[in-house]
Amino acid sequence: MSTSIQPFSRPAAPPDAPGRGTKAFILGTASATCSLIVLDTNVVAVSLPAIARTFQASFADVEWVVSAYMVAFASCLLPAGGLADRLGRKRMMLAGLAVFLLASVGCGLASTATFLNVARAVKGVGAAMLLTAALAIIANTFHEGAERTRAWAVWGTCMGVTTTIAPLVGGVITQWAGWRWIFLINVPVCLMLVACVRYAMTESRNPAASRIDALGSALFGVALMLGIWALIDIPAHGWASVATGSRFGAAAVLLALFVLHERATAHAMIDLSLFRQPRFVGAVLGMFGYAACAQVMMTFLPLYLQNAFEMSAVQAGVGMLPFALAMIGGPYLGARLSSRFHGSSSVLVAGLMLIGAGNLLVAAVATHAHYGLVAVGMIVTGLGAGVMNGDTQKAIMACVPVHRTGMASGISTTTRFSAIVTAVGVLGAVLASRTERAFEAALPAGFAWRDALGADFLARVLAGDIGQAIAQAIAPLDAAARASLATKASQAFASGFGAALGVAGVVALVLGATVWSLYRAGRGPAVPIVDQQR
């Protein structure tokens, strides 16, 4: 079944008015919109310690600043793409900018950590609307040949540059204007983009767009949220608690219902028959490994640099440049590997191996308080991330027929952001657990630190707020005791960060080996894909 939405009968309604912009202007507007999303995704990490100080927030609260946005974003990508096709890409972009703008105001004016996290979730919905509409507009404007290739190259360059400068921009704004302006600065940017969209773009729709799978979207989104909720609260409740078990159990049940629903519905978001192809599964796992083991560095690395090296927000932004700059050079290495070994598998495997090696190197030196050694590991991880940044998407798209590229693109993007938010939960739990054990091991035997310092002491330390955590200790502390405690807390956090990066490194290596095996298994004839569209 296909349904098309007809334009309003009144002539020249603003959303449907013919655009007056050139193709270059349209590309610039769409790329700038996507850059805004990338900037907002990555810029907030540097400000997390400042946010924690403002709200006296725990590590779980800080994790939700990232995770609330990512969960909403990942959950809404597929349905937002369908809505853009049905209602109109230009209309969806304008609506997305409105949601994004209002949510940014909510974030900037938030009075509590809970309010901030709710606003961040709404912002994730707006970001999903913007990304899917912008990508559809680019694809609809540039149809084929060299022009289309150049358009996507420009878009990719914009994404790479934005990813590189995001930590530095976040550090500068946080230190010199305050963390709230990280969100409030989006207001004039969104207003400018609204004017550009209304001026430049012509409305477009897919007349054959299928019905939106609302139930599938809800099942997937709630399952993802419950799983992340369980992971984030593990430091507070423990792995064996009723709260943790019930959330994981509910997430598993909803995920199983999602799979059953997708197999039964005629308008599924995801064609599960794609996963019968080993090469497709390998490509999706490559994307998962890239996002979970490399892109997640953008969340935890600023906390580590500010905690372990006592860097300011600006210094932390500069300190992340080795990772970001290596990501820019990575695609050139990936291109050489692809031309030499003639296949996506070599690029994906090489990228995952570099990511794994870089993470393990950082894990090995994390407690040594030597930034140069950490920077070497960041460069290796960044190269691996750069190698995979474009090739993961290409590898997924290469496994499906042309009429399924939209769905494959949705699977790819959803996998990326689901992997990031899952990694934030898993690695955050490892970080918190290891930090607590290392801190307790550094204290005198029998010292009841929770009674002396407060039960939430380590939660504040993990949020990047060591100074305030010590200042609010229950027991009176002299200057020497404060300095000693700060050193112990900083070293414990570095130990926890090393453990988290060690897990990420091992996962990347295991996924690299798995991808290699799946591509070898997929060398034979591809499994036929049953077209489920009706």
Q: If pLDDT is split at 50, 70 and 90, which confidence band does 86 have?
A: confident
Does some domain include residue 327? yes
**In-domain check, residue 153:** yes
In a domain, 512, yes or no: yes
Is the pLDDT score of 305 beyond 70? yes
Nearest to 77 by CA among 533, 496, 414: 414
Listed residues 247, 268, 289: the one ending a domain: 268
- How far apart CA 428 and CA 426 sit, in angstroms, is 5
Specify if 4 maps to a domain: no
Position 229, amino acid = W
Position 125 in a domain: yes
pTM of the model: 0.82
Q: Would 6 be classed as within a structural domain?
A: no
Residues 406 and 510 in one domain: yes
Question: Are the CB atoms for 424 and 120 separated by under 8 Å?
Answer: no
Same domain, 424 and 514: yes
The residue among 103 and 333 whose pLDDT is bigger is 103
Amino acid making up residue 437: R
- What would the two tokens of residue 370 be? 């030597």
- Per-residue model confidence as pLDDT tens digits over 271-287: 777 788 888 889 899 98
- Rounded percentage of the chain residues whose pLDDT exceeds 90: 26
Residue 370 DSSP one-character state: -
What pLDDT was estimated at residue 526? Answer: 45
Q: Report whether 400 contacts 408 (CB < 8 A).
A: yes
CA-wise closest residue to 362 among 350, 351, 353, 375: 375
For residues 258 and 128, state if they share a domain. Answer: no
Residues 36 and 166 in one domain: yes
Residue 493 lies in a domain: yes
Q: Are residues 250 and 398 in the same domain?
A: no
Residue in 392, 421, 474, 314 with CA at minimum distance from that of residue 77: 421
Q: Contact 233/60 with Cβ under 8 angstroms?
A: yes
Is residue 246 located within the same domain as residue 294?
no
State both tokens at 178: 């305050």
CATH of the domain at 28: 1.20.1250.20
Query: Quick one: pLDDT band at residue 214, thresholds 50, 70, 90?
Result: confident
pLDDT tens per residue, range 245-261: 898 999 999 989 988 88
- Provide the 8-state DSSP code for 206: -
Please, are residues 316 and 46 in contact by the beta-carbon 8 Å criterion? Answer: yes
Q: Please tell me whether residues 280 and 264 are part of one structural domain.
A: no
Cα 469 to Cα 457: distance, rounded to the nearest angstrom: 6
CA-CA distance, 463 to 50, in Å (whole number)? 9
pLDDT at 9: 34
The CA distance from 280 to 212, in Å, is 24
What is the per-residue pLDDT for 133?
86
Residue that terminates a domain, selected from 268, 292, 308: 268
Q: Which of 198-212, 306-320, 407-421, 498-512 has the highest mean pLDDT?
A: 498-512
Q: Which domain holds residue 55?
A: 19-202
Please report the sign of the dihedral spanned by the C-alpha atoms of residue 373, residue 375, residue 381, residue 387.
negative
Are 415 and 488 in contact, with CB atoms under 8 Å apart? no
d(CA 304, CA 334): 29
pLDDT given for residue 534 in this prediction: 37
Residues 209-221 as b or e (16 or more Cβ within 10 Å = b): bbebbeebbebbb
Q: Which of 202, 230, 257 is the last residue of a domain?
A: 202
Same-domain pairing of 132 and 281: no
3-state DSSP assignment of residue 428: helix
CA distance 334 to 355: 13
Q: Are residues 342 and 418 in the same domain?
A: yes
- One-letter amino acid identity for 29? T
Q: Are residues 166 and 52 in the same domain?
A: yes
Q: How many domains does the chain have?
A: 3
Instruction: Give residue 405's pLDDT band: very low, low, confident or very high (50, 70, 90).
Output: low
User: Are residues 80 and 61 both part of a single domain?
Assistant: yes
Q: Is residue 533 part of a domain?
A: no
Mean pLDDT of the chain: 82
Residue 71 in tokens: 């969960």
- Nearest residue to 187 via CA among 104, 246, 126: 104
| Same domain flag for 464 and 333 | yes
Question: CA gyration radius for the chain?
Answer: 23
How many angstroms separate the CA atoms of 264 and 351, rounded? Answer: 37
Higher pLDDT: 308 or 395? It is 308
The residue that leads in pLDDT, 136 or 149, is 136
Q: What is the pLDDT of residue 403?
A: 56
What b-and-e string marks burial along 453-480, b requiring 16 or more CB atoms within 10 Å of the CB? bbebbbbbbbbbbbbebbeebeeebeee
> Which structure tokens are listed for 47?
């400000």
pLDDT for the residue 496: 93
Alpha-carbon distance of 490 to 473, in angstroms, equals 16
Which residues neighbour 424 within 8 Å (Cβ) at sequence distance 6 or greater? 63, 66, 67, 70, 228, 232, 296, 299
CA distance 193 to 177: 23
pLDDT digits (tens, 9 = 90+) for 376-386: 999 999 999 88
Q: What burial letters (b/e) apply to 160-196, b meaning 16+ CB within 10 Å?
A: bebbbbbbbbbbbbbbeeebbebbbbbeebbeebeeb
